[in-house]
Homo-oligomer: A and B are copies of this chain.
């Protein structure tokens, strides 16, 4: 699992900072999460292949998470894309994109599927053989979801020496990898754990931006490997965070602690602050394992 931060600053794109967008690579799938203005250029700068992105998840319809979407969709077309593109986001996103395509008379060269969200409960919105994606309802000034990306448990790994020792026929390999036991011709049952190794554990990633401090997310993201949680402000601006329905670094860390996640990544910083280190220091007072997102950074998770 690899996370690339394309942009992680609040409000407006600036000379050296970009609004929210990130790419999650998980089991060979590439998911684009949020799409602030300039995202397509950030994708290029980070050498991420446009053609590998088939799913885009938009948290909410605020410009700093959205205004790069129409350009990204259009550029995919200009490059002659033919693969389906799926877009997940709040109700209204379809009308927004279709009107722009209509008025600019620029239809896509590929099929565009919209999955509009309006539920206030967490729901599964994507599932295939290897990955499952659920919404994380957040509390912000407009309808907002975070997203929880979970790998499905992988197959058990075949213990090649063991299956050869017991002379197990190749026809049983898939059954064994699925966790099954094997009965030999003489009736002996060989337990699965003698024939396999544990697979790599299934990883998970939770994206929470933008939101006020909200303990309702805790059961949804409990025990997640990596949590990205917005920290627009520091504790000194806690009242402003509450007023604008954003979080402080301390609050992000409190959610990480209570949800028992393994790692916290902070982001969505207000550009009022000069450096990022104070965010890390503040969060570490509550939760030990804190990383700072920054534009262009990649995390191997």
Chain A contact residues, CB within 8 Å of chain B: 11-15, 37-38, 40-41, 44-45, 61-63, 66-68, 70-71, 74-75, 78, 92-93, 95-96, 99-100, 103-106, 141-142
Question: Given A15-B45, A40-B13, A141 and B105 touching (CB < 8 A)?
Answer: yes
Closest-by-CB residue of B relative to A63 is B74
Q: How many copies does the complex hold?
A: 2
Question: Given A15-B45, A40-B13, A95-B103, A71 and B67 touching (CB < 8 A)?
Answer: yes
B38 touching A12, Cβ below 8 Å:
no
B68 touching A41, Cβ below 8 Å:
no
Question: Given A71-B67, A92-B103, A142-B105, A40 and B61 touching (CB < 8 A)?
Answer: no
Question: Given A37-B37, A37-B68, A70-B67, A105 and B13 touching (CB < 8 A)?
Answer: no
Question: Given A11-B78, A71-B67, A61 and B142 touching (CB < 8 A)?
Answer: no
Closest-by-CB residue of B relative to A17 is B41
B37 touching A15, Cβ below 8 Å:
no
Closest-by-CB residue of B relative to A73 is B63
A-B contact pairs, 7 of them (CB 8 A): A13-B71, A14-B41, A15-B41, A37-B40, A63-B106, A104-B142, A105-B142
Please name 19 further chain A to chain B contacts, defined as beta carbons within 8 Å, in addition to the given A13-B38, A63-B106, sorted by A numbering: A11-B78, A12-B75, A13-B40, A13-B71, A15-B41, A37-B68, A38-B38, A38-B41, A61-B104, A62-B104, A63-B74, A63-B104, A67-B67, A67-B71, A67-B74, A93-B103, A95-B103, A99-B99, A104-B142
Chain B contacts for A104, CB-based, 8 A: 61-63, 66, 142
Distance in Å from the Cβ of A91 to the closest Cβ of chain B?
A: 9
Closest-by-CB residue of B relative to A18 is B41
B14 touching A44, Cβ below 8 Å:
yes
The complex places the Cα of A41 from the Cα of B18 at a distance, in Å, of: 10
Chain B contacts for A44, CB-based, 8 A: 14-15
The complex places the Cα of A12 from the Cα of B74 at a distance, in Å, of: 9
